Amino acid sequence: MPRSAHLILSLALLALCLAAPLHPSAAKGPTELTVFSSPICSSCQEFAAKHLPSLQAGYGESLVVRTVDISTAEGLLELEQAESAANSFSNPLPVLLINGVLLADEDLAALTARLSEELQASLGPPSEAVSVIEPLLADTPEAAAGEQEAVCLTDCVPTRPIHIAYVSKAYCDVCDRTKLLLDVLRKEYPQIIVHEFDQSQDAKVLEAIGQHLQIPSDRRLIAPSIYVGESALVGGDQITSDALRAILDDYVEPGAPAFWTSIDTSLATGSILSRFRGLDVAAVALAGLIDGVNPCAFATILFFVSYLAISHRSRKEMLLVGGTFTVGVLITYFAVGVGAMRLLSLVEAVRGVGLVLYGLMALACLVLSALSLRDYVLARQGRLSDMSLNLPQKLRDRIHRRIRAGRGASVGAALITGIVISLLELACTGQVYLPTISYVMGVPDMRASALGYLALYNLAFILPLLVVLTLAAYGVSTRTFQNLFTRHAAKSKLAMAALFLVLGALLTVRVINL
């Protein structure tokens, strides 16, 4: 081959080598990952110890990790600036910033997966390497000086104390952010005194504070919230260092008293009770009534009353036995409701479980709403036996056998029959009962009167049974009720669909506010 051809081939190979794409990390240079965390944040420590090292090992010097301690004023300001640029506020810690993208998630596994996707988009697939980690911000001389030398107003000589009411709730990441902010500002405003209130346990005082500051009733029991003098910051979206500093600056000279110590909390009790007697009461009563006339429950009522009728009992005996049966139903459903409320209180104490539980309940309500709409269409066509939300045939047979067995028995047997049938019917009636209980337990001012709501629901639930029993005792035939039930089955299903939809929406709002 001529020398010129060798030269041309060599140049071509060199050009190909130069044009060949390098590993993305080599081509683009190091990528900086900023981790906003706090020394008192357990999730931050877990992320740094368990999730971040494997990602660092895969990218070596191509990934530079910088940790910012937001318990310092400088770190908190940097986080707020990053959140403002991303238009995403009050995120759970740790918060990550990479290539201008802000990442945050209570689920650390999901957070790590999102970070891995960003790294692969920026640096390509990971390889075996050792990463370079910059020192923590708190370890730098500038940061250390910032921690040791707090910036004080009026030459660090406090004037009058500034009392702050801080509203929190258990296992609230946004509340933890607010608490960190207050800790940071204590260094700048040494005269502030923070009083912490629990959203549920201190509902009466918080309601009184809301009345005093003329805050709308639907914004009075929100965590986190901050009240200073005549000013209020309600919700994580309002609570920022700039907003709180602006309020504190107004009270540096005059100070701010703990006004909640002298307000009349009896007015707050009246306000909560007023709301209890309002729309919430109507909603819970309506839910119980709709549950009482839903097809699977109403069919059992008719079967029970028909057997009382054919047993040739006197009117007095019919009312006595039927009333005892109704008491058994009431006791059973109330006891089940109390147990469900207790269970919800326990699981909410476990971090994240409440969120999952309410989320699943909201999803179940939406599914049940769709199934009720389908049943509505079937009922309009007269296909009642094809409806989805009915008691299974085996359970219906067991209920009928139980009623037949107690047909000629005593009042005591009627009570036991009511209890047993109620437990068997939960497969159907629980579809409305449990979501309603979840909603009541999810609203702080309703939760305070949860047993009252539970009693109201159950009284509304047994009302159809009492009406049918009374009318049957005074001569109305069960065939009349049967025809009435058949004609209005579709309407009851449509009402249930609407009820499930409303409950699903309310529970979804509850999940968002957790």
Instruction: List, for residues 440-488, the tens digit of each pLDDT value.
Output: 776 665 666 778 878 888 888 888 888 888 887 777 776 676 666 666 6
Q: Whole-number mean pLDDT of the chain?
A: 74
**Residues ≥6 apart with Cβ < 8 Å to 106:** 43, 92, 173, 352, 355
Cβ-contact 167, 223 below 8 angstroms: yes
Residues 38, 45: Cα–Cα separation, whole Å: 8
Question: Which DSSP symbol is given to 382?
Answer: T
C-beta neighbour count of 399 within 10 angstroms = 21
Who wins on pLDDT, 242 or 43?
242
Cβ-contact 327, 415 below 8 angstroms: yes
Residues 294, 287: Cα–Cα separation, whole Å: 11
**Nearest in space to 112 (alpha carbons), one of 129, 126, 132, 130:** 126
Distances from the Cα of 400 to the Cα of 332, 353, 404, 413, angstroms: 18, 39, 6, 15
Who wins on pLDDT, 173 or 439?
173
Cβ-contact 336, 426 below 8 angstroms: yes
- Give the burial string for 410-433 (b: 16+ CB within 10 Å, else e): eeebbbbbbbbbbebbeebbebbb
Residue 95's beta-bridge partner residues? 36
Give the tens place of pLDDT for each residue, 145-179: 333 333 344 444 446 899 999 998 876 778 888 98
Per-position DSSP letters for 241-286, written without gaps between them: HHHHHHHHHHTTTT-B--GGGSS-HHHHHHHHHHHHTTHHHHHHHH
Distances from the Cα of 113 to the Cα of 14, 51, 75, 116, 240, angstroms: 39, 10, 25, 5, 29
- Give the burial string for 116-129 (b: 16+ CB within 10 Å, else e): eebbeebbbebeee
Amino acid in position 488: H
Residues 48, 346: Cα–Cα separation, whole Å: 30
C-beta neighbour count of 343 within 10 angstroms = 13
Rounded average pLDDT over 489-495: 74
**Nearest in space to 392 (alpha carbons), one of 254, 307, 299:** 299
Q: What is the pLDDT of residue 142?
A: 38
Residue 315 has pLDDT above 50, yes or no: yes
392-395 contacts, C-beta under 8 A, 24 or more apart: 392/427, 395/424, 395/425, 395/427
pLDDT confidence of 432, banded at 50, 70, 90? low
Per-position DSSP letters for 400-420, written without gaps between them: HHHHHHTTT--HHHHHHHHHH
Give the tens place of pLDDT for each residue, 323-363: 888 888 888 888 888 888 777 777 665 555 666 766 777 78
Q: What is the pLDDT of residue 284?
A: 79
Residues 7, 47: Cα–Cα separation, whole Å: 56
Residues 260, 468: Cα–Cα separation, whole Å: 52
Classify the C-alpha dihedral 423-427-432-436 as positive or negative: positive
Cβ-contact 472, 308 below 8 angstroms: yes
Who wins on pLDDT, 392 or 288?
288
User: Euclidean distance between the first and final Cα of the chain, in Å?
Assistant: 77
Cβ-contact 53, 21 below 8 angstroms: no
**Residues ≥6 apart with Cβ < 8 Å to 504:** 362, 363, 364, 365, 366, 369, 435
Give the tens place of pLDDT for each residue, 173-202: 788 889 889 989 988 998 999 999 988 778
Q: What is the pLDDT of residue 290?
A: 76
**Nearest in space to 437 (alpha carbons), one of 366, 353, 342:** 342
Residues 115, 104: Cα–Cα separation, whole Å: 10
Q: What is the pLDDT of residue 430?
A: 65
Q: Which pairing describes strands 162-168 and 192-198: parallel, antiparallel, or unpaired?
A: parallel
**Residues ≥6 apart with Cβ < 8 Å to 186:** 192, 194
Q: What is the pLDDT of residue 339?
A: 83
% of the chain surpassing 70 pLDDT = 65
For the ranges 70-84, 131-145, 436-450, the lowest mean pLDDT is seen at: 131-145
C-beta neighbour count of 288 within 10 angstroms = 26
Residues 225, 219: Cα–Cα separation, whole Å: 9
Whether the pTM exceeds 0.75: the reply is no
Q: What is the pLDDT of residue 158?
A: 44
pLDDT confidence of 236, banded at 50, 70, 90? confident
Give the tens place of pLDDT for each residue, 23-74: 444 445 688 999 999 888 878 888 888 888 878 877 888 889 999 999 888 8
% of the chain surpassing 90 pLDDT = 13
Residue 291 has pLDDT above 60, yes or no: yes
C-beta neighbour count of 69 within 10 angstroms = 26
Pure H helices in 103-235 = 108-123, 141-148, 173-188, 203-212
Cβ-contact 227, 168 below 8 angstroms: no
Q: What is the pLDDT of residue 101?
A: 93
The vertex-415 CA angle with 440 and 434, nearest 5°, equals 20
Residues 341, 343: Cα–Cα separation, whole Å: 5
